[in-house]
Amino acid sequence: MQGRAIAKYLRMSPRKARLVIDLIRGRAVNEAYAVLQYSKQKAAEPIDKTLRSAVANAQQKASAQGEFFDLDELVVLEAYVNEGPTLKRWRAAAMGRAVPIHKRTSHITIIVDTQKKEG
């Protein structure tokens, strides 16, 4: 059963979030939880919340359709980070100048699905 979750407008650079999302792409969900739990990066917390939301969405979808749900069969099928809108701010600089500051935001999308059994 497929589940999807999107976290939008996170105040985090997409480049930094992609470093963490690359660690969990293609892994089993339980393994992804372990990787995120012991990751030191700040991006691990919102990615973990989004992953848990995707798993909960898959579980709700399975129960609504009356299907059997097994957490151990779930795999992170797709995981990517898109760039959100940039907040543009200004900071005072020497000799009356202003320097631009770009506060970047991210949109995190995670899709989990059951493993396809071949044979």
* Dihedral angle computed from the Cα positions of residues 96, 98, 99 and 101, in that order, rounded to the nearest 10 degrees: 140
Does position 9 have pLDDT exceeding 60, yes or no? Answer: yes
DSSP 8-state secondary structure symbol assigned to residue 43: T
| pLDDT tens digit sequence for 56-99 | 999 999 999 999 989 999 999 999 999 999 999 999 999 999 99
- C-beta separation of 47 from 21 below 8 A: yes
Does position 119 have pLDDT exceeding 50, yes or no? Answer: no
Furthest-apart CA pair in the chain: how many Å?
72
Question: What is the Cα–Cα distance from 63 to 71, expressed in whole angstroms?
Answer: 13
Q: What is the pLDDT of residue 4?
A: 97
Does position 25 have pLDDT exceeding 70, yes or no? Answer: yes
DSSP-H helix ranges across 4-117 = 14-24, 29-37, 44-65
- Architecture of domain 3-114 in this structure: Alpha-Beta Complex (3.90)
Does position 1 have pLDDT exceeding 70, yes or no? Answer: yes
- C-beta separation of 102 from 13 below 8 A: no
Q: Grade residue 20 by pLDDT with cuts at 50, 70 and 90.
A: very high
What average pLDDT is seen over the chain? 94
For the range 37-42, what are the long-range contacts, defined as Cβ-Cβ under 8 Å and sequence gap of 24 or more?
Answer: 41/16, 42/12, 42/16
Q: What is the pLDDT of residue 115?
A: 80
Q: Domain residues of the chain, as ranges?
A: 3-114
Q: What is the pLDDT of residue 116?
A: 67
